[in-house]
Chain A
């Protein structure tokens, strides 16, 4: 279990992480979602004791990372797959990590086999593709057979087969009762691989919950088309609804249910041709939640659906 308790991290005037407070529970895959630059990696580095929080603390199984007696036996992490000495072979890289935590070398060959990179174990890491490096990083995370696993953007650079492999792998780790914490900036990826999601933006906590509960709480819209466009519009606006005109005859209404919109139209004496509740997609939810907190947003460029 991972506990992040009111963690704040400031770098020379810039707040990277702002009072984050959440728990990551065992037995499920927890997604850590936020736009690029929202503080996900910083939070993970603080959990691993690499960066010192300005305020608050992070603990793993009730202890600060620095207090863990056998860190690799407790926590496995993949932060940046390319952050390895390029001149060392994959096997020697893992052996050096294993030696520091007194893990037998036999285990190195096991995790190499598991990650599917036994055949390149004697090759220098500098020649590895990003996908191979990701697999090596996963092998390293598994070395000590830890109960808690952290992965920072693990699907980057993986081919479709690798992505499927890693999703099933996360699932099986969680099914074994382990704590699996996976960051991503891609909502669609989280939707298929995570059970629980923690959303942050600009270092701030935004929301937390299951995929279903997140979509449920998200504001859906109602698509409506009626006989008298202008009359319908003013009737809805009179009820303080947020209405946007999609074209000359269609409206999109937020804040109201389809039933309410129908009733308003009826009271105003406007015949309806079409009345459709529209459920927000996960992408919409994410865009909606993080709209104010995108560090490098593209303004003026419209995304065509």
Chain B
């Protein structure tokens, strides 16, 4: 037997691990339910209330963003998926048998990230396109609808799925650094929810300069908008910055993983 452990075999192993525990399956189901289910709920309410809405509201109405509203909630579910993918190895102690089988730690993290990012890309895009199509179908006939033939709309729907993917990867790196499920998920949630609240205490001009850098309120909001607000970066720029955050965190957490004992 002269086979040696390669990235391909690590990916196969990690893919089997990902789909063979209930918690991942449940989190994926929750991601779909939140993204599509909340989309259905909100678009239905809009459709029912449409005739009561003011002209101003009607003119500024965004059929894309309202159909993708579930992303804001699904981001927590994907955070749990990303975090548990590594922290469950620590909480159970399984990291030791994992590393005994794959002692090349860079290869292990690369394999895990490939599996996580591929899975989340599929899940994120299916959820995002699903919510978009179902939302437009609910609007049709009563509320103005958007079409994917509009380049900005297509970009927004794709970016919504990408946003979920990047968040899962970001949460994974926090898990790799912190090694503790609850602590890692708490920090992830704090970044999305608490950080904007802290910034809200700053003077308005400071807020305008800083909010755009936040993963959720800033970058995520811009990525899932057809026309982001004046204080935000462009969708492409936001995508780039969020990707940069993830790359930096992958580098930091992997180098810490290489140094520390398992």
Contacts and interface: CB of A to CB of B under 8 A. Distances in A.
Contacts of B93: 80, 82-84
Contacts of B89: 85
Interface residues of B, number: 34
Contact of A97 (B20, B23, B97): B97
A82 B97 CA distance: 11
B138 interface: no
B100 interface: yes
Contacts of A52: 259, 261
Contacts of B262: 45, 50-51
A97 B13 contact: yes
B101 A97 contact: yes
A80 B2 CA distance: 29
B69 interface: no
Interface in A75-108: 75, 77, 79-80, 82-89, 92, 95-97, 99-102
B100 A50 contact: yes
Contact of B3 (A95, A102, A140): A102
Contacts of A50: 96, 99-100, 261-262
B10 A100 contact: yes
A95 B17 CA distance: 9
30 contacts: A45-B261, A48-B96, A48-B100, A50-B99, A51-B261, A52-B261, A68-B103, A70-B1, A71-B5, A71-B102, A75-B100, A79-B97, A82-B93, A83-B94, A83-B96, A84-B97, A85-B89, A87-B21, A88-B17, A89-B20, A92-B17, A95-B16, A96-B13, A96-B14, A96-B17, A99-B16, A100-B10, A100-B13, A101-B3, A102-B3
Interface in B1-55: 1-6, 9-10, 12-14, 16-17, 20-23
A71 B104 CA distance: 10
A111 to B, nearest CB: 14
Interface string A43-78: 001001111100000000000011011111101010
Contacts of B88: 85
B149 interface: no
Interface in B90-127: 92-94, 96-104
B10 to A, nearest CB: 6
A84 B20 CA distance: 13
Nearest to B108: A100
A73 B101 CA distance: 9
A75 B92 CA distance: 22
Given A50-B100, A84-B92, A85-B94, A99 B13 contact: yes
Contacts of B23: 87
Interface residues of A, number: 35
A72 B3 CA distance: 11
Contact of A101 (B21, B99, B101): B101
Contacts of A86: 92
A45 B103 CA distance: 12
A208 to B, nearest CB: 26
A100 to B, nearest CB: 4
A262 to B, nearest CB: 57
Contacts of A89: 20
A100 B9 contact: yes
Contacts of A72: 100-101
A92 B103 CA distance: 20
Nearest to B21: A87
Nearest to A83: B93
B261 A101 contact: no
A77 B99 CA distance: 11
A45 B96 contact: yes
Interface in A281-295: none
Given A77-B100, A88-B20, A92-B20, A102 B9 contact: yes
Nearest to B8: A102
Given A70-B3, A101-B9, A102-B3, A84 B94 contact: yes
Contact of A71 (B92, B94, B100): B100
B3 A65 contact: no
